[in-house]
Every structure is written in structure tokens, then in C-alpha cells.
């Protein structure tokens, strides 16, 4: 398992972090781990979403659907 040391955290930030961990009944180490894991998972979720939307755009483009949203809106207005 990896380790991390973070230096120069402002005192007010550190105090707020200690209070946050205490409110959740966790040690500071547990709280930091949860925050880091959550941030990584959020990033993965966004990356999966971006990959999904790119794949959908490619599939739509192969079918001749989609493309330039502004152009599509203009053509709908002209009908």
C-alpha cells in the first residue's frame, strides 16, 4: 500500500479537517483515505461518462444521426 505525506496545510484547514473526521467518527487517516478514494472514484466516473458519450457519438455518426447540434436546431426551426 502507498503512503502520502502532505506538508504546509494551513492551520485553519487542518483544524476543519480534524473536526470533519471527528464528526464522522473516523481518524484523520481514515477520513483522508475516504476523501482520496472518493475523488479517484469521481474522476473514474467522469472518464467512463466521457468514454460512453464519445462512443455514442461515433455510433450515431455512423448511422448519419447527430453531429452539429446548432445546425440541427437551425434546421428544426426552418421546418
Residues whose CB falls within 8 Å of the CB of residue 21, separated by 6 or more in sequence, listed in order: 27, 28, 30, 31
The domains of the chain are located at: 12-66
- Which is higher by pLDDT, 28 or 1? 28
**pLDDT score, position 67:** 65
Encode pLDDT of 38-67 as tens digits: 999 999 999 999 999 999 888 888 877 766
How many Å apart are CA 39 and CA 62, to the nearest integer? 35
Encode pLDDT of 10-25 as tens digits: 999 999 999 999 999 9
Amino acid at each position: 500500500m502507498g503512503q502520502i505525506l502532505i506538508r504546509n496545510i494551513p492551520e485553519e484547514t487542518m483544524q476543519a479537517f480534524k473536526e470533519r473526521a471527528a464528526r464522522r467518527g473516523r481518524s484523520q487517516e481514515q477520513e483522508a483515505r475516504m476523501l482520496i478514494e472518493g475523488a479517484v472514484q469521481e474522476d473514474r466516473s467522469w472518464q467512463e461518462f466521457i468514454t460512453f458519450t464519445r462512443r455514442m457519438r461515433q455510433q450515431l455518426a455512423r448511422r448519419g444521426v447527430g453531429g452539429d447540434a446548432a445546425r440541427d436546431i437551425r434546421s428544426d426551426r426552418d421546418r
